[in-house]
Amino acid sequence: MMARVDGQSSGLWHDPHNNGTYSPTNASSGLGFQRLTGNKKYTDQMLFDFVDSGNSCEISGCSESQVFSIADFSTNYCNLRMLYCGSADGCKPVKFDFTSQETQVDPSPGAGHDQSACLKTSEAQGFLATTSSCPPKDFETVKDFDLDSFISKRWYIQQQMPVKYLPASQNRCVYAEYQLQKKSFWGYDVSVHNHAEEVAAPHTAHDSGKTLCAKVVDKSRGKLEVAPCFLPTALAGPYWVLDYNEAEGYALISGGAPKEAAEGGCRTGTGTNGSGLWIFTRQQKRDEALVQKVRSIAQQKGFDLSVLNDVDQSACNAETSRSAAILSV
């Protein structure tokens, strides 16, 4: 827990739930923390106690909001969970990675305990948005986009937003490849190949094969639409390149404009079309400074960064055959 909290300043860890900021507090026993919400308006207090239990450790904790709220959208539950959840839960440990089993959760009236809410921004929190409108005024994609250069090599995903077809449980060894093709019957110009693996062993791969295609909508502005190749393009979802720099080896991708207001900014949906946010890099090995740079670009464009979760790119076979799956938008 302390490693995660300390890791905020160095970029080793960030709070996946609305990008809050944790800090230690004095506690007579156990560990005490406080968390400032992503919009910098509210502070919650937490206490943890630890007891040896055979070969395990029993953790008990409580979190309390410092303002009155009718519903907390699982915030207090997530305040606690984000400090102990492991990679099998879609979280990013900093020092130790262990599994946990929750045996008892006692929320106060109106409070929730939805695990899935911890790795995304709840739609019900839109009224807390700090952005005046979504998508932000003058929201734009990349300019003078070079499609040939963009699709010339494989992209590795370093951070991504959980969506219906790509849950956080598949945040391992994710990559994407693209290739120009002869325009299909439905008008698709690009074949799409994606790969993702389960975080939990045995790391089952998910395979898109040759089932996904993209149509170029606005080539100079990096706007495409993606869908299964057998569907008409009218049913395809937006795939937009928001920023791209081949020399530095990064790209920022979204499933269209972020139309939904959230506590930390704007975001896309979480369904099939019109959903998703990704940070691409050419190099598979994570470059933290580069990832933080692209996160900053996304934030400047008005995105809620709390939706982004890390992808584990370690212990992957970089030359895995074309056999995997995900990232249709």
Instruction: Answer whether 308's CB lies under 8 Å from 159's CB.
Output: yes
Paired tokens of 144: 């003078």
pLDDT of 298 over the 90 cut: yes
In the chain, DSSP finds a helix count (H) and a strand count (E) of 4, 16
pLDDT at 162: 93
Instruction: Answer whether 197's CB lies under 8 Å from 166's CB.
Output: no
Q: Please, where are the H alpha helices in the chain? A: 2-10, 75-81, 147-150, 288-300
Q: Using CA atoms, how far apart are residues 229 and 210, in angstroms rounded to an integer? A: 8
Continuous segment of H or E residues that includes residue 60:
strand 56-65
Query: What residues does 118 pair with on adjacent strands?
Result: none
Phi-psi map region of 28: left, alpha, beta (phi>0 left; psi -120 to 50 alpha): alpha
Paired tokens of 274: 């019109």
Three-state DSSP at 312 gives strand
Span of 204-218, 244-258, 305-319 with lowest mean pLDDT: 305-319
pLDDT of 121 over the 60 cut: no
Task: Write down the pTM of the prediction.
Answer: 0.60
What mean pLDDT comes out for the span 54-75?
A: 79
